Amino acid sequence: MTFYPQLILDALKHVRYPGTGEDIVSSGMVDDNIRIDGNKISFSLILDKPNDPFAKSLVKASEQAILTYAGAEAEIKGNIDIRYRTQIPAQPEKLLPEVKNIIAVSSGKGGVGKSTVASNLAVALAKMGYKVGLLDADIFGPSVPKMFGLEEARPYLEPVGGRELIRPEEKYGVKILSIGFFVDKESAVLWRGGMASNALKQLISDANWGDLDFFVVDLPPGTSDIHLTMVQTVAITGAIVVSTPQAVALADARKGISMFQGDKVNVPILGLVENMAWFTPAELPNNKYYLFGKEGCKKLAEELNVPFLGQIPIVQSICEGGDNGTPVACDENTITGKAFAELAQSVVEQVNIRNTTLPETKKVEIKR
């Protein structure tokens, strides 16, 4: 049997929203972007606000309507997601009111280059003309100071609106704060969870971040109190999960995505980034050697129905850039510089897709 969008819409007209008694198609609750791949059908239901009591029953009713009126061969179970027209603020007093979008960069495990991706994404966004901030929230293993050549930086306080606020360092057009600025770089940070969470809150609320289009947050690997603190402290626009193509890294990436989509966190996934996608030697720039497997993240993104944001290759310059304090995204003429520029463009597009139903002030202009 052949499925097509109008057939699906006709089937969904049999589903009525309990709150009004009207069918969900006429009520504008079905996203126009109905995706059909053979028998696999996926789309979004658009509800007025989070915590709608009828959300789960509408999904089940929609699945049943498609199987009944469009065709029993339809593969629909688990392929309907929920979007909302309005957002409930994370807390009554909104922190960072001048920040348009907060992007959390995370990874299921350490060693996959999460901080490299976060740092270079911030630089690439700044090169596109956006106002960008970067918070190193990896409290126990801060690496952003080294990546920006700011290991000796010691931010100072400045008066702002009757308060003394921390003045972020600024380099390559990015405002930067890290716990690494305030601790001995030769010593391990031995803090209990509460101390680390309080330090993170201070870097957010007691700093003069000002007007930003994007606030990139480099989270610790895995799952921890820091992730919950971020969600409870600020309204995160969406999360980016970084992984390598290896099976063991992908298994942890899957857990990371599950954490963000869980009830306690409930943060949208902007997409997956595949780091160390292939190796290209400097003397053979057209050659690709897939050291850790090929397109593992791309396949996982397709399986989990989340966006695939791009691939970052391994070249010698990316290691040298991280060591000498010059992120590779500073030079768009290099292989990795171009890759990060394309990643930044993909992130902006996904943020604007995410923000389509939010107030105009949340959107950012796509700059090409």
Beta bridge partners of 169: 176
Per-range mean pLDDT, top range of 87-101, 260-274, 282-296, 307-321: 260-274
93 lies in a domain? no
Q: What angle do CA 157, 163, 169 make, to 5 degrees?
A: 30
Say whether both 214 and 108 belong to one domain. Answer: yes
Q: Are residues 121 and 186 in the same domain?
A: yes
- Domain harbouring 122, CATH code: 3.40.50.300
Residue 361: predicted pLDDT = 40
What are 158-192's pLDDT values in tens digits?
998 888 999 999 999 999 999 888 877 666 565 66
> What is the rounded average pLDDT of the residues 218-235?
81
Question: Of 32-46, 113-127, 350-364, where does mean pLDDT reach its minimum?
Answer: 350-364
Could you report the per-residue pLDDT of 64-123, keeping only the tens digit for each? 999 999 999 999 988 898 888 765 444 435 678 899 999 999 988 888 889 999 999 999
* pLDDT recorded at residue 185: 65
Supply the pLDDT for residue 350.
93
Residue 199: give the domain boundaries: 99-362
Q: Using alpha carbons, select from 95, 201, 96, 206 the residue that is nearest to residue 139.
A: 201
Tokens of 33: 């972007």
Name the residue among 362, 342, 367 with its Cα closest to residue 212. 362
Q: Which of 57, 84, 111 is the last residue of a domain?
A: 84
The reported pLDDT for the residue numbered 360 is 42
- Expressed in angstroms, the distance from the first to the final Cα of the chain is 42
Single-letter amino acid code for the residue at 189:
V
Are residues 267 and 293 part of one domain?
A: yes
| 80: enclosing H helix or E strand | strand 80-84
Min mean pLDDT across 15-24, 95-104, 314-323, 327-336 is at 314-323
Name the nearest CA neighbour of 295 among 251, 329, 247. Answer: 247
Give dist(CA 59, CA 346) in Å, integer: 29
Structural domain includes residue 77 = yes
What is the number of domains present in the chain? 2
Q: Is the pLDDT of residue 362 over 60?
A: no
Is the same domain home to 205 and 310? Answer: yes
Say yes or no to pLDDT of 292 above 90: no
Q: Evaluate whether residue 30 is within a structural domain.
A: yes
Higher pLDDT, 347 or 18: 347
pLDDT score, position 319: 60
Please state the separation of Cα 58 from the chain's center in Å.
27
pLDDT digits (tens, 9 = 90+) for 107-116: 888 888 899 9
Say yes or no: 79 and 189 in one domain. no
Residue 94, domain member (yes or no): no
**Beta bridge mates, 272:** 241, 308
Residue 259's pLDDT is: 85
Domain assignment of residue 279, yes or no = yes
**Last residue of a domain, which of 60, 84, 108?**
84
Give the contacts of 221 (CB within 8 A, at least 6 positions apart).
106, 107, 108, 109, 110, 111, 112, 114, 138
Q: Tell me, yes or no, whether 57 and 169 share the same domain.
A: no
Burial 239-266 (b: 16+ CB within 10 A, else e): bbbbbbbbeebbebbbebbebbbeeebe
pLDDT above 90: percentage of residues in the chain: 40
Residues 61 and 160 in one domain: no
Q: Is 297 exposed, middle or buried (0-12, 13-18, 19+ CB in 10 A)?
A: buried
